[in-house]
Amino acid sequence: METVIVVEDIIKRYGDLAAVDGVSFKVYKNEIFGIVGPNGAGKTTLVECMEGLRIPSGGFIRVLDLDPKADGYKLRQLIGIQLQEGLFPDRLKVNEVLDLFAGLYSRSVAIRPLLEKVGLLDKADGYFDSLSGGQKQRLSIAVALVSDPQVVFFDELTTGLDPQARRAMWGMVSSIRDAGKTVILVTHFMEEAERLCDRVAIIDRGRIVALDTPANLISRIDGGLRINFWLDDLSIVTELENIKGCKLTVSDQDITIQCADRRVVDEVKRVLEHNNCNFHDFTVSKPTLEDVFLSITGKEMRE
Amino acid sequence: MIVLRQFRKLISMEVRVFRREPIGVFFAFIFPVFFLFLTMEVFIPAEAPREIVINYVTPSLMVLIIATGAIFGVPLSIVTYRQIKFLKRLTASGARSLTILGSIALANFMITVLGIALLAVAAMLVYDATLGGSLISFLAGFVFTFLSLGAIFLFIPAVVRSARAANALSQIIFFPVMFFSGVFIPLDMLPDWIARYISPFIPITHAAELMQGLWLGTPLVDLIWQVLILLGILCLGLVIAVRAFRWE
Ligand SMILES: Nc1ncnc2c1ncn2[C@@H]1O[C@H](COP(=O)(O)OP(=O)(O)O)[C@@H](O)[C@H]1O
Ligand SMILES: [Mg+2]
């Protein structure tokens, strides 16, 4: 596998705070590499060091064999960047924004097909301030792609979007990878990382706490399935606990059962129905990256 | 050359954004001409010799146009772009900081040139204003004044964060500075203590004297003080800008 990015022992301090505290990893060609973690974990600081927009306090970075610190301008001609924050002037039209950014790079793609790809063709003549949140994000993607870069960085691409717009964005990111590019995707949505990324680095307080494919990360935590429901009457709990292969936790009236397979789910249901229990909101779920984060760090992703 | 293309694209973007802002267009192009008529028709005493007065008023109002760009135009563009992280966005796309700032300055220069040309045409056609000195030295003085005033007011983006604050600060600076520098009211009509103790500390005062001198055809040797003072202001402005400018 061809290595596109090398990060070794990167540290970035702000005063006493080490926002990034000794991070190392490699990114390979044509993968979607996720950097996930809660707000304030240091994700933006880390990617902006890779883009040469911030200067690390220590460590070694090569992106496309260039040092972002020494060759920032050269590097930024070759990569595409979507910033976590970053708007355009209200009174510029969509096609004018793209024309401007196309003109800043030494090479660029045709603008109309690009607008079509991000679904903004009918908004080409619209002013930036007339766009919805999702459309603004899509323009931001188009700007990141206008130079036909080999490596694209997305930072919190879908924050603030409704679920439907988010899904549309996911489709777009996958298609970028399928077009042969390498994508670095920063997000605090574990579900997004799980769905999209080929590999994920989970970071917490400036350090990588796990790095693997989403499937491997999830398979590390025991208990394949998770059953959730709540009961009016808790007297049945003892009988449920006696079901084989069933790990049960009670919190108020909320019951969580971890188990290895489907048979336990059927058995739990049978016991509940057999005893004419009143149970509500019965759900069965697989563990997610959120559970991985919880099991590694002992805290919830969001409070 | 990619840098030239970047300049071209950034300048046309900046001019476009300016064109779509009616208040800016009004202050750059319409207000100075309107003020010219107001001064000539209303403010000056009826017995004053108009054909002489116009040659003082015209260069003063040109300084008004330059100062408008220096106090409002450039700082507000910079602060707004910085606030919405557009400056960072441009840097992230392979444009250098100097290219970006240079384009903002050049776009503003072009707007200023147009405003001054409009004013000159109105003054010449309606009131028979005439350039008494050499065109070359007048133009050189204009560019120099633009640079000097442009540089000194770069302290505005360094001390404020938001576009609103920049706008408020620019307003607070603009009106007193205009009144006490001899641009709106001739210095000899101001109270003596203002002319003596306040006006000399306003950069615009020296800019107005230089531009008036060059318009009237005063020999350059007699303007050497104004040139030196503006040069000092230019250097001071650049030093402050380099030291205190915040990119984010
Ligand atoms: N320019 C800065 N100055 C000081 N502290 C900063 C700066 N940028 C980020 N931080 C701090 O560094 C930590 C990581 O921030 P950030 O990289 O933005 O996290 P994330 O993108 O994961 O939410 C936070 O505690 C944040 O307050
Ligand atoms: Mg962030």
Q: What is the ipTM of this complex?
A: 0.90
- Subunit contact A104:B21, Cβ cutoff 8 A: no
Q: How far is B210 from chain A (nearest CA, A)?
A: 36
**Whole-number pLDDT of residue A225:** 81
- Subunit contact A86:B89, Cβ cutoff 8 A: yes
> Among all residues of chain B, which has the CA nearest to that of A68?
B92
Q: Which ligand 1 atom sits nearest the alpha carbon of residue A46?
A: 17
Give A237-283 pLDDT, tens digit per residue: 888 888 887 888 888 888 888 887 778 888 888 888 888 888 888 88
**Whole-number pLDDT of residue B214:** 95
**Whole-number pLDDT of residue A303:** 46
Give A30-64 pLDDT, tens digit per residue: 999 999 999 999 999 999 999 999 999 999 999 99
- Facing B6 at nearest CB: one of A87, A91, A104: A104
Give A155-197 pLDDT, tens digit per residue: 999 887 888 888 888 998 999 999 999 999 999 988 899 999 9
Does residue A260 sit at the B interface (CB-CB below 8 Å)?
Answer: no
**Whole-number pLDDT of residue A302:** 61
Contacts of B17 in chain A (CB under 8 A): 89, 91-92
Has residue A143 got a pLDDT over 50?
Answer: yes
Give A187-204 pLDDT, tens digit per residue: 998 889 999 999 999 999
* Per-residue model confidence as pLDDT tens for chain B (248 residues): 899 999 999 999 999 999 998 988 999 999 999 999 999 998 888 888 888 999 999 999 999 999 999 999 999 999 999 999 999 999 999 899 899 999 999 999 999 999 999 999 999 999 999 999 999 999 999 999 999 999 999 999 999 999 999 999 999 999 999 999 988 888 888 888 988 899 899 999 999 999 999 999 999 899 999 999 999 999 999 999 888 888 87
**Whole-number pLDDT of residue A222:** 64
User: Cβ neighbours of residue A218 under 8 Å, at least 6 residues apart?
Assistant: A194, A286, A287, A288, A289, A291, A292
Which tokens belong to B123?
Answer: 């003054």
**Residue A231 and residue B153: Cα distance in Å, rounded?**
70
Structural domains of chain A in order of their starting residue, each with its CATH number: 3-213 (3.40.50.300), 225-286 (3.30.70)
Cβ neighbours around B89 below 10 Å, total: 22
**Residue B137 and residue B119: Cα distance in Å, rounded?**
19
* Binding pocket residue ranges, ligand 1, CB within 6 Å: A 14, 17, 19, 37, 39-45
Contact between B199 and B190 under an 8 Å Cβ cutoff? The reply is yes
**pTM: predicted TM-score of the whole model, two decimal places:** 0.87
Contact between A257 and A247 under an 8 Å Cβ cutoff? The reply is yes
Residue to substitute in A10, A14, A23 for testing ligand 1 pocket (most ligand atoms within 8 angstroms of CB): A14
Mean pLDDT of chain A: 90
Residue (of B243, B5, B87) closest to A53 by Cα position: B87
